[in-house]
Amino acid sequence: MQQLDVILGLQWGDEGKGKIVDYLANDYDIVARFQGGPNAGHTLKFGGNKYVLHTVPSGIFRENLINLIGNGVVLDPVVFQRELRSLEQNNVQFRKRLLISRKAHLILPTHRWLDAASEAHKGKLKIGSTLKGIGPTYMDKTGRNGLRVGDVELPSFRDQYEALKTKHLELLKIYPEVPFDLAGEEAAWFESLDTLRSLLLVDGEYFINEALATGKKVLAEGAQGSMLDIDFGTYPFVTSSNTISAGVCTGLGVAPQRVGRVIGITKSYCTRVGGGPFPTEQDNEIGEKLRQEGQEFGSTTGRPRRCGWIDLPQLRYTILLNGVTELCMTKIDVLNIFSEISAATRYRYSGGEHANLPYDLCHMDVEPVLKSYKGWNSSLDGIKTFDDLPAEARAYLEDLENYLGVPFKMISTGPEREKLIIR
């Protein structure tokens, strides 16, 4: 049975999924996004250029490869249209290669408005949402009120839209007022729907299963990270979808036994953007050094990312949840400048040391127990094999592998496509 492979983030997002998907895409026929929406920002660098994708799967730059936006995704047609225009400017031929599931849900202008109002209402306790309308759109999906991509082809579409918008306007009355140009946003939204209608809308679940049945190779591309998962992340400081491998089944319409390799990505350290607990955060010079060296500023919002050391109890947890079969470490080059590197190996809480995460990181005093490693203090440029890495870097990776019980099969040494060690 042909299985599909999955690439996803094991931390709080921005692990470098875009780069790795773009690299591996060459070995696949189809790349499919299965959850999230324009809250994602996936960066690709090659040929001296940098591209940031939000909705479009990261296989789009590889010729002949089909890219599918699955039913689990929430799509803002305005952001999507902007992304497509930028692809056109870069002469990327996507029209025959970009498919959108009819069952993906649409982000309305009022969803973004609700997102902003809800965050304003939370005040200091705000999630730190990207304000792309993600939460309100998934709420309407599970509340059975949503509009789907396939609805744009129905004669009743305008009425459906008006009904949902009216409901949103009523809901907005319970929130603080936030500025929003509804008329302008609405006009742009309807204009962008013409672009959407001109694209290949498909029944994604049939498409993907038929592709697998005929031996096509499929790579599922995760967005966000497992610690932002709606069920298992640092709730309520999470996103609104299942970011873990289970989300592949519901987000594409494939059965669990169809899932093959699960490639989990972690940075050599850890970052998070937005609010919420982050046990290994270094809100100090070390964090600042990681931020500058790693250029840790959001791909979607430009916000500075919070930085800290790699967290092994956290990674063990997300490896378990995802059934990770192999690991990829990105941004190992960022550690080049450190003489000493740390990693959390346990958490101290409730008077003891634990390898497991507590129920609720938000209301608990958790102190990471750090182990230190010797740095290598040298450039990794030009290194193509694991054995050629400095001894200290190999020791660091091997110690992590022992703790995590899964091998590092890929090590990324820079943002560019070719800077990758395959082991």
Active-site amino acid positions: 14, 42
Report the run of H or E that residue 292 belongs to, with start and end.
Answer: helix 285-293
For residues 337-376, one letter each, b for 16 or more C-beta atoms within 10 angstroms of the residue's C-beta and e for the rest, the string is ebeebbbbbbbebeeeeeeebeeebeeeebebeeeebebb
Residue closer to ligand IMO, measured from CB, 330 or 345: 330
Residues paired with residue 156 on neighbouring β-strands, in sequence order: none
Q: Which of 12, 36, 14 is nearest to 317 (CA)?
A: 12
Residue 18 found at the interface with ligand GDP (CB under 6 A): yes
Residue 9 found at the interface with ligand IMO (CB under 6 A): yes
Residue 74 found at the interface with ligand IMO (CB under 6 A): no
For ligand IMO, the binding residues in 195-224 under the rule CB under 6 A are: 223-224
User: 157, 151 in Cβ contact below 8 A?
Assistant: yes
Residue 296 found at the interface with ligand IMO (CB under 6 A): no
For ligand GDP, the binding residues in 348-377 under the rule CB under 6 A are: none
Residues paired with residue 100 on neighbouring β-strands, in sequence order: 69, 201
Residue spans of alpha helices (H) in 146-284: 157-172, 182-197, 204-213, 246-252
Residue closer to ligand IMO, measured from CB, 81 or 224: 224
For ligand IMO, the binding residues in 124-153 under the rule CB under 6 A are: 127-130, 132, 134-135
Secondary structure (3-state) at 301: coil
Residue 37 found at the interface with ligand GDP (CB under 6 A): no
Tokens of 293: 């060296």
Q: Minimal distance in Å, beta carbon 366 to ligand GDP?
A: 25
Residue 15 found at the interface with ligand GDP (CB under 6 A): yes
Residue closer to ligand GDP, measured from CB, 41 or 146: 41
| Span interacting with Mg ion, options 209-217, 261-269, 296-304, 319-327, rule CB under 5 A | 296-304
| Span interacting with ligand IMO, options 11-19, 56-64, 80-88, 328-336, rule CB under 6 A | 11-19
| Span interacting with ligand GDP, options 40-48, 180-188, 202-210, 226-234, rule CB under 6 A | 40-48
User: 330, 287 in Cβ contact below 8 A?
Assistant: no
Residues paired with residue 42 on neighbouring β-strands, in sequence order: 53
Q: Minimal distance in Å, beta carbon 347 to ligand GDP?
A: 25
Secondary structure (3-state) at 385: coil
For ligand GDP, the binding residues in 157-196 under the rule CB under 6 A are: none
> What's the first-to-final CA gap in the chain, in angstroms?
26
Residue 415 found at the interface with ligand GDP (CB under 6 A): yes
User: 17, 7 in Cβ contact below 8 A?
Assistant: yes
- Chain position whose Cβ is nearest to ligand IMO: 274
Q: Is the dihedral of CA 373, 374, 377, 379 positive or negative?
A: negative
Residue 294 found at the interface with ligand IMO (CB under 6 A): no
Residue 39 found at the interface with ligand IMO (CB under 6 A): yes
User: 40, 21 in Cβ contact below 8 A?
Assistant: no
State the binding string over 272-311 for ligand GDP (x if CB under 6 A, else -): ---------------------------x------------
Residue 239 found at the interface with ligand IMO (CB under 6 A): yes
Secondary structure (3-state) at 198: coil
Residue 233 found at the interface with ligand IMO (CB under 6 A): no
Residue closer to ligand GDP, measured from CB, 130 or 412: 412
Q: Which residues in this chain contact Mg ion in the complex, by CB under 5 A? A: 14, 41, 299
